[in-house]
Chain A
Amino acid sequence: MTRQRKTWLVLGAVFVALLVARGMIGQGLGRVYVKRTDVTVKLPETAVNDVAGAPSALTSGSTNASTTTASTQAMETPAAASTASSSATTISWQEWKQVTPLEFNAAQKANPAQTEITLSWPRTIGLWLAAFFTLAIFSFLYADNPFYKIAESLVVGVSAAYWGVIGFWDTLVPKMFGALTPGLVKSLVQPSLVAPEKLQQISMIFALILGVMMLWRLLPRGGWISAWPLAFIVGVTAGLKIVSHVESDLMAQAAATMKPLFVSVTDASGATNMWDSWWASVANVLLVAGVICCLAYFFFSVEHKGVVGGAARVGIWYLMITFGASFGFTVMGRIALLAARVEFLFDDWLWLIDPNHFRGL
């Protein structure tokens, strides 16, 4: 057994021992509770007809909200899991909403035989999987290992599949098929599809042709055909970007730099506030000087000597300060993300802390 394997074994054993010990102290750890709600929705005649024509609308949660009763709000809960059973004019199902352990304990205390709030095994397993994969990714900091590889592969696989599904259901189905065959899409998969205009339908035929041309590169012959849609994409993107960049990043930024070097700040009584005026003026001078010096640094048509050389050196200082600020912000962002994951481990999983008062610790 190699030294590294021994280290992993010891680390794993210590971790499992600590986890078991934690599970036996106090309220335990890592459980998710859910509350069952029975929802009944009455549908007017028109909606019933729609539903009869397109039963998939119910399970996809796309029922027109204006036709429902007061239970609509519960129906929109993202975590809702519905099992629908419909009669002629009413639909009823059960929803499971996540509740805190505090609510579970209170319900148990009031009635130990209650079944309204229960432990959710799927969500609890999900929580433990989230904790496991968080630790699996962190384990790379020690050394590369199979747990990290599993987590990494899962991220890649799930991301690829997710983007595929998103691309199909949010782009191809509503925008392409929905425009070309609105009746079919509306009756089969998206009852809430808003009918496209005639012009939109025609333009989608054009888009479909370009799409097919793009896929032509997969065929053994005629790969050059895909150059046409690529040219279209490049042309449109360039047109959009050039206009927006000139407007927002060149003209507007140049205008924002044209500042007075002396600023007079007046207070509520109309008198000049010397302190604020001084600092506002200093800020403007620094801004204008910074822009000029940084431009001088990137101006290579003149040799960086004398005044231009001095300005370029000051420009370097400005750039270094900018890079430092960017690095500082990046560090702050990364630490915030790390803090969020550690908070998840300590709070949701290990129940060591209770900042949101979910468990009444």
Chain B
Amino acid sequence: MNMNFKSWLVGTTMLVMGTTGAFAEVVFNRGNSADPESLDPHKTSTIYEADILRDLFLGLTTEDAKSEIIPGAAESWTVSPDGKVYTFKLRAGALWSDGSPVTAHDFVFAWQRVVDPATAGEYAYMLAPVVNAEDITAGKKKPDEMGVKAVDDSTFEVTLNAPTPYFLEMLTHQATYPVSRANVEAKGADFTKPGNLVSNGPYTLAEFIPNDHIKVVKNPKFYDAANVKIDTVNFIPTEDRSTAMKRFEAGELDSNNDLPTEQLTDLKAKFGDQIKIGPYLGTYYYAFKITKAPWDNLKLRHAISEAIDRDYLAEKVWQNSMIPAYSFVPPGITGYETRTTDYAEMSQIDREDAARKVLAELGYGPDNPLKMEIRSNTSENHKNTAIAIQEQLKPLGVEVTYLNTDTKTHYGHLEQHGDFDVARAGWIADYKDPENFLALCKSGTGNNYSEYTDKGYDDLLAKAAASADPAERMKSLSEAEAVGVARDLCVLPLLYYSYKNIVSSKLKGWEDNVMDRHPSRFLSKE
């Protein structure tokens, strides 16, 4: 009896200590709008896996809480005078989660793996600036011909085709993360499974139940483990945004990276500062089919663009979760001057008048309406946007019809260069550089849905690519935007995206930033 009581007392005391005392495990339940496609960093492409992989792995460079570049797996680096050779000094004593050292050979292996056609990495093009990378992906050269070298165990050397000022920025992307060669070779395709996955980041993979949760736990072997305050992060897929809000309210989630825009006004009233909306590096745009009449007429394209009331779209359709856009490259990239269309600053009434005049000159009006079909992928917000535009253009004698198809059909149609008048698309930056947007208007690029070609534009991009001076390069890119977007409307910019987060006031260290990246290692929870 006495023994029983004693053991009960000890047990209870331990339990109380465990739940309230210094041993309490800090758990961060992190809502993620979808499950990742894969946990193999070289096979991923979406933002859904980016946050998870950022916690699991550490690239050569990484970002701090404000998404500014800081040294990652590389402690330091040097760049050759011509800007083409980068030499990275890896962090001394850095370990994989299985205790083996992270070496330059792992990086050589990983980078050759990304561009290897057998991997079919969707983001192989992130390493396209590296010598021979593109030819390897196209099957014209062998992976070992890539411009990467392990000078010694801790020195990794990369040779680029041309000086690439945003190269260090690209290295924060998951496609450039290292994988442990020993691990991948031993486990094969199963290396991403919990129990198998070896990583070098602040966390290691503990559990992955599809559509339920991904649990990652603090990696004691991470070089900065002493400053990692959250012990466990559960990434919880939240396809249903309304449910996500209720789960947040009930305390089941500490954050979520998407919000139901239609409830935004109510949500702001209810959750106050916990709702975080701000500019994000992404653009929502339409593409005209420039190769066919009447959309080959630049004046007509501008008239349509001018007549669209973007303030209304942002405010009424998107509840201020989007920002009116007059350029393709969103503001927020240091050193880059965004180039907007001439009428960006004009009042909507003046714009409509100007548009009406142009349309009348071209012979369009209520008696001879211009027919325009907007194609988009299925979504309530895309539909409402198109309907608003339909109403805005109606008085000007433009008869807009709307056709929506599911995402795969829509983008399949665009990729095949199928017929359309105007089609909806969107682009979220992979890295903080204008080139990431402007390359979409380059002649012959797959995502150049309007099939825009202009030698002047292509030359300006080529000039930027060859430029070793970052300021010079930004200037060329800015000029390219002035030509391709502001002058020629290779895309019709409508809105800039905003990030939309709900973050519990218990979470500290959450810094809003234009890339909307928030590594768990910099967060803490009260």
Note whether A and B form a binding pair.
Answer: no
Q: Give the A-binding residues of B (Cβ under 8 A).
A: none
